Amino acid sequence: MSSLDLLNKYAELTEAWMDKQAKLDNYVQQWLDGTTQMSAEGVQQLVDSSTQQIEQLKASASQAQAEYLRITQEETMRKNAVRSVKHNLGASPDELVINGGVLSSNAKDSYLTGRQKTPEELEFERNQLLANIKSKVMSKEITLAEASKLAQDVNIAYGVNTQIEQENTQGGMRR
């Protein structure tokens, strides 16, 4: 589900539970005023079932909101990592390779040709950048902390899940 879909779902669920709460409050007020005839047990059952439905809607809305926040945070982290890689290492983790084109005085006749990078090319590029970072640390151009941040940015920009990698290196041994 996209972040926009999740945001819309959150808004719909929030509106639904607020409407249900308002209707319940209105019905209870009418019962208290005597305009609606129902036994106290009937009203209590109605309040209990409605409250349970409202709580379910609230929980679903909270879940949609949490998922939306997680996705937008991941998107922001990836965008920032791509910017960092472009700025600090001069590499573009884009998945397109421009390999030609035509430039014409008429803008409508100008175009570029390109192709998608293969997963192997992306992995090779990522490994080259990580080796470049390592050599910069060895030559003391950057600190170890800067290198760690750059390596993390490279992994995020190229879609490598660093959380899994960190879990797999428990005890200093790769599994």
Tell me: the pLDDT tens digits for 58-108? 999 999 999 999 999 999 999 999 999 989 888 888 777 788 888 888 888
Q: Tell if the pTM clears 0.85, that is, is over it.
A: no
User: From CA 62, how far away is CA 17, in angstroms rounded?
Assistant: 12
User: From CA 90, how far away is CA 157, in angstroms rounded?
Assistant: 13
Q: Quick one: pLDDT at residue 96?
A: 77
DSSP string, 27-62: HHHHHHHTSS---HHHHHHHHHHHHHHHHHHHHHHH
User: From CA 27, how far away is CA 161, in angstroms rounded?
Assistant: 52
pLDDT tens per residue, the chain (175 residues)?
Answer: 888 999 999 999 999 999 999 999 999 999 888 888 888 898 899 999 999 999 999 999 999 999 999 999 999 999 999 999 989 888 888 777 788 888 888 888 888 888 888 889 889 999 999 999 999 999 999 999 999 999 999 999 988 875 544 444 444 444 4
User: From CA 147, how far away is CA 92, in angstroms rounded?
Assistant: 18
Q: Quick one: pLDDT at residue 162?
A: 54
